[in-house]
Structure 1
Amino acid sequence: MKRQKRDPLQRALSRGYQAGITGRSKEKCPYQSLNARSHWLGGWRQAIADKSVIA
């Protein structure tokens, strides 16, 4: 049975979240396309917000 590839925008969001949790700067976003970059930054912002609630 074939596995479906994950949505690239969902992957960008997830990677942005992981970057935010680990403390990486938002300037380190690896994406160039506007759509993927905005999803990465959305994940990064969510991680920063989650970290501030925990701390």
Structure 2
Amino acid sequence: MKRQKRDKLSRAHAKGYQAGVAGRSKDNCPFQTSESRSQWLGGWREAIEDRQLGMTKL
């Protein structure tokens, strides 16, 4: 049985979250399409909030 890839939008969100936790700038978004970019930025924002609340390890 073949393994399914996660959908691209959830992957973009997860990558944005990882970038935010790592402290990278939102200008480093690698996505060009508006939907993927929006998901990446959403993940990035969540990570920044979590960092400010002390919920992530640096």
Fold conserved between structures, TM > 0.5: yes
RMSD, aligned α-carbons: 1.0
- Deviation >4 Å, runs of 4+: none
Structure 2, gaps ≥5 residues long = none
Cα deviation, 1:1-55, whole Å, max 9, x if unaligned, reads 1101110000000000000000000000000000000000000000000000007
Same amino acid, percent of matched pairs:
60
Aligned position for 2:42: 42
Structure 1, gaps ≥5 residues long = none
CA distance in structure 2 between the partners assigned to 1:26 and 1:2 by the alignment? 35
Question: Of Structure 1 and Structure 2, which has the larger fraction of its residues in helix?
Answer: 1
Question: Paired residues, what number?
Answer: 55
